[in-house]
Every structure is written in C-alpha cells, then in structure tokens.
Amino acid sequence: MLGRAIRHHLARLGSWLRVNYYRAMGLKIGRRVFISRHAHLDVRRGKIFIGNNVHIGGGTYVLSHTGFRPVQKDEVTRIEDNVRIFVNCVIFPGVKIGKDSIVGAGAVVMKDVPPGVVVLGNPARVIHHLDDNG
C-alpha cells in the first residue's frame, strides 16, 4: 500500500510540473488537470485551450497545427470541462471536444465532439450518449 501511495503522489507531482510547464509555454489550462507522463501537447504554433477537471492519458497527441497548412487566425484546439482522453489518441488542430465527453483509447479525433458522448475509432465516431448520471 505504501508503494502505491508513493507512486500516486509522484504521478500527481509530475502532472503538476507538466501542467505548469505548458502554462508557461502559453497554453490556457484550467484547474484540476492531469496530463500523463507520455502525453504530448503541441506548443510550437497555434492555440490550445484545456478546461477544468480534464484527464489526458499517455501517448496522446493534442495538436495545434499541421505542417502542411498555415495556422488559421482564430483556430483553437479546445478541450472543455470534465473530459477524459484515454491512451494513444490524436486530437487534430481546430477540434472542439465537448463538455463531459470521453475519448476512447486510440481514437483519432478529426471533427468536433458533442458534449456528453463517448467517441472511439479512426476516425472517431460517437458510439454512446452519456446520461446525466454519466
């Protein structure tokens, strides 16, 4: 039990350091955000907004631009409040993930995700609508 508690606290500390690094690089990040150790957020160009109480799993890439086209003026990659993004997902630039949604493992999100749904696949598709008890 002690080893698990120590790992938990170290993971929280690492996430806190990553969140503050990304804030210093210019990303807008809300409160109670957990960013896993191997998650990558694109800070080179474009804009990314992350709401409150968001969890981003390892191996996930959140992109703010693509290399083959210029960044659009008001294009923002937006992850709203209470979103869970599981491992190895790719979030394309300019995509909005709605409040209380879940992005399943390995999803490639190329279009906006409505609030309160579960998306999976490549390309990501809505597979389930969450009720209020979610």
Catalytic residue among 8, 9, 38, 40: 40
pLDDT tens column, 64-78: 877 666 667 778 899
45 is a domain residue = yes
Tell me the pairing of strands 84-85 and 55-56.
parallel
CATH number at residue 74: 2.160.10.10
Rama region for 71: left / alpha / beta (φ>0; ψ in -120 to 50; rest)? beta
What's the one-letter identity of residue 129? H
Number of domains in the chain: 1
Distance (Å, whole) CA 43 – CA 128: 32
Q: pTM of the entire structure? A: 0.88
pLDDT tens column, 7-66: 989 989 999 999 999 999 989 999 999 999 899 998 877 789 999 999 999 999 998 877
Which residues span the domain enclosing 81? 2-129
71 is a domain residue = yes
110 is a domain residue = yes
134 is a domain residue = no
The verdict on whether 129 is a catalytic residue reads no
Distance (Å, whole) CA 114 – CA 130: 11
